[in-house]
Amino acid sequence: MTRRSISSVLADQAVSRPSDIAVIDPTGPMTYRELDIAATRLARTLLDAGVVRDDLVEVLLPNSTAFVVACFAIWRAGATPMPIDPALDRSERHMLESLAGPRAVIGGAALAPGVVLVDGESASTGSVRPLPDNWARSWKAPASSGSTGTPKVVLSASPALVDPDARVAAFIPREATQLVTAPLWHSTAFTYAFRGLTAGHRVVIEPGFDEYRFLAAVQRHRVTWTVLSPPSIRRLLRLPATERARHDLSSLESVLHIGGRCPIPDKRALLDWLGADRVVEVYAGSESNGLTMIGGHDWRAHPGSVGRAIGGTEIAIRRPDGTGADDGEIGEIWLRRGDHPAYRYLGAASRRTADGWDTLGDLGHLDDGWLYVMERAADAIRLPDRTVYPADVEAAVEAHPDVRGAVAFSLGTTEGPTGVAVLVDIADADRLPDDIHRIIVAQLGDELVPTQILLTHSPIRNDAGKIRRRALSGCGTGPAPYSARTRSENAS
- Average pLDDT for the chain: 89
Checking if the pLDDT of 328 tops 80, the result is yes
Spatial separation of the C-alpha atoms in residues 372 and 224, rounded to whole Å: 29
User: 314-318 and 331-336 as β-strands: parallel, antiparallel, unpaired?
Assistant: antiparallel
Q: Which residues contact residue 300 at a Cβ distance below 8 angstroms, ignoring those fewer than 6 apart?
A: 268, 271, 276
Comparing CA positions, the residue from 193, 140, 187 lying closest to residue 25 is 193
Confidence of residue 271 (pLDDT cuts 50, 70, 90): very high
DSSP-assigned letter for residue 73: H
Residue 380 φ/ψ region, left for φ over 0, alpha for ψ in the -120 to 50 degree band, beta for the rest: beta
Confidence of residue 468 (pLDDT cuts 50, 70, 90): low
Which residue has better confidence, 429 or 294? 294
Comparing CA positions, the residue from 31, 72, 10 lying closest to residue 202 is 31
Question: Over the stretch 211-265, which tens digit does the pLDDT of each residue have?
Answer: 999 999 999 999 999 999 999 999 999 999 999 999 999 999 999 999 888 999 9
Q: Which helix (H) or strand (E) holds 29?
A: strand 28-31
Instruction: Determine the 3-state secondary structure of 372 from DSSP.
Output: strand
Q: Angle, to 10 degrees, between the axis of helix 230-237 and the axis of helix 264-274?
A: 60
Instruction: Determine the 3-state secondary structure of 237 from DSSP.
Output: helix
Domains for the chain: give ranges and CATH numbers.
4-367 (3.40.50.12780), 380-491 (3.30.300.30)
One-letter identity of residue 433: P
Query: Considering the chain, what percentage of its residues have pLDDT values greater than 70?
Result: 93
pLDDT for residue 484: 38
List for the chain the helix, strand, coil content (%; round to 5). Answer: 30, 25, 45
Question: Over the stretch 184-195, which tens digit does the pLDDT of each residue have?
Answer: 999 999 999 999
Checking if the pLDDT of 478 tops 70, the result is no
Q: How far is CA 244 from CA 209, 221, 237, 277, 409, in A?
A: 16, 16, 8, 19, 33
Helical segments of 25-64, H only:
32-48
Give the Cβ contact number of residue 429 at 10 Å.
Answer: 14
Which residue has better confidence, 115 or 145? 115
pLDDT for residue 486: 30
Q: Which residues contact residue 395 at a Cβ distance below 8 angstroms, ignoring those fewer than 6 apart?
A: 261, 263, 264, 265, 443
Spatial separation of the C-alpha atoms in residues 80 and 298, rounded to whole Å: 38
Query: Considering the chain, what percentage of its residues have pLDDT values greater than 90?
Result: 63
Question: Over the stretch 22-49, which tens digit does the pLDDT of each residue have?
Answer: 999 999 999 999 999 999 999 999 999 9
One-letter identity of residue 406: A
Cβ atoms of 117 and 110 closer than 8 Å: yes
Instruction: Give the N- to C-terminal CA distance of the chain in Å, as an integer.
Output: 66
Phi/psi for 377 (5° steps) reads: -60, -40
The full DSSP string for 102-129 is: -SEEESS--SSTTPEEE-SGGGGGS--P
Spatial separation of the C-alpha atoms in residues 252 and 218, rounded to whole Å: 7
Cβ atoms of 78 and 157 closer than 8 Å: no
pLDDT for residue 319: 95
- Whole-model pTM: value is 0.89
Confidence of residue 268 (pLDDT cuts 50, 70, 90): very high
The full DSSP string for 283-333 is: E--TT-S-EEEEEHHHHHHSTT--BEEETT-EEEEE-TTSPBPPTT--EEE
